[in-house]
Structure 1
Amino acid sequence: MIGGAPQEHGEKIADFPSYPAAQKAVTRLIEADIPAKDIAIVGRGIRSVETITGRLGYGAAARSGAINGILLGLLFSALFVLGTPGAAVQLFAGVMLVGIALGMLMSLIVYAFLRRKRDYSSITQLIADHYEVTVLPRSIHRAREVVGGRVGPAAAAPVAAPQQTPAPAPAPAPQPAPPLDAEPPRYGERIDPTPGDTPPAS
């Protein structure tokens, strides 16, 4: 619906890159008994894309008018058949031809007026970068359970990884004892023995 007062869309519960994916999410929500009027699909980053389908010309305009004229002729023929059940087949065919001629004529007239503005046919589409599924606050909790999956109370708790005990550091190697001459004296000064002080061997 275009125009009117802006309506509340609710809170976003999911984000999808394409419109069909958002439609599937809405289908799941409705199947879960969530009120449809509480759900909305909001397109973000809307842009207009015009795809060129071909070049216009009098021939293309005539073909397009002929196709529309066939539908117009079928409508007129149905009205004639309902009005006169005993109508001949020639009348039916004549009405069809008149409808085709009218369709071609109208298409050529329209093209003659628009030929100076554009010489091509195109299809315009509105495309969004992504689509958000929103739900009103009164149904937000249930909707999140449906879209995101319910976590039950008996869900297994994550198992903690076992802690590895660090290996004991190797004991330091024993240091060699210093020579007695290098050891400082405990009391007073060290007096080196002279050769004369050595007692004679017995």
Structure 2
Amino acid sequence: MSVFALLIMTGLACSQVHAEDQAQVHAQKQTEPKLLIVGDSISAGFGIPVEEQWPLLLEQKLRDRFPQLTVVVAAISGDTTSGGRSRLPALLERHKPDVTLLALGGNDALRGTPLSLVRNNLTAMIAAAQESGSDVILAGMQIPPNYGPAYTEGFRTLYIELSGSYNTGLVPFLLEGIAAVDGMMQDDGIHPTTEAQPALADNVAPEVIKLITQP
């Protein structure tokens, strides 16, 4: 057998092994998926009993379809994209998620953090998660217009732009159907109520399902 033929056969064998490895990873992703939620007080359940917080409701909802699903909540009240960026590498190494939900940025906006810094932090987190083998979902936030139209609109579209550039899943506004609805927000006007938790889970669930089941 010629060296050329041997190289071809070796390449085909390696390709077959790679394809089998990918199939095995995909099968495990569908049967034993792990979702990592990196967020702030909205994901940490500020003011909400633990058993009624939306990440737990999401886990319960998705387990009807994925019985072995694990949801890891790595959310800290007051956290920013800078904090999430510093925490994420260790979280990825420890939990090895199939899907990573990045639900940060609201506290950055409330502090008037430059959009360029928010973008850089989110971009770094997306890259770190994707390089680890995890799919990514961005959970967008929106802020009141009193921050000025340029900042308000720039912040809103930031998540959409990053999702398009880096091919991530997207929840355009995590509080969609919640923020302007009576009884859905606590008195501070920032945190969802207990009644809003199922809606938060419903907002996130379709993107999680899509990424878990995609080839």
Range of TM-score over shorter length: under 0.3
The structure having more radius of gyration, on CA atoms, is 1
Higher relative contact order (CA 8 A, sep 6+): 1
Going by fraction, where is strand more abundant, 1 or 2?
A: 1
The structure carrying a bigger helix percent of its residues is: 2
TM-score normalised by L of structure 2: 0.18
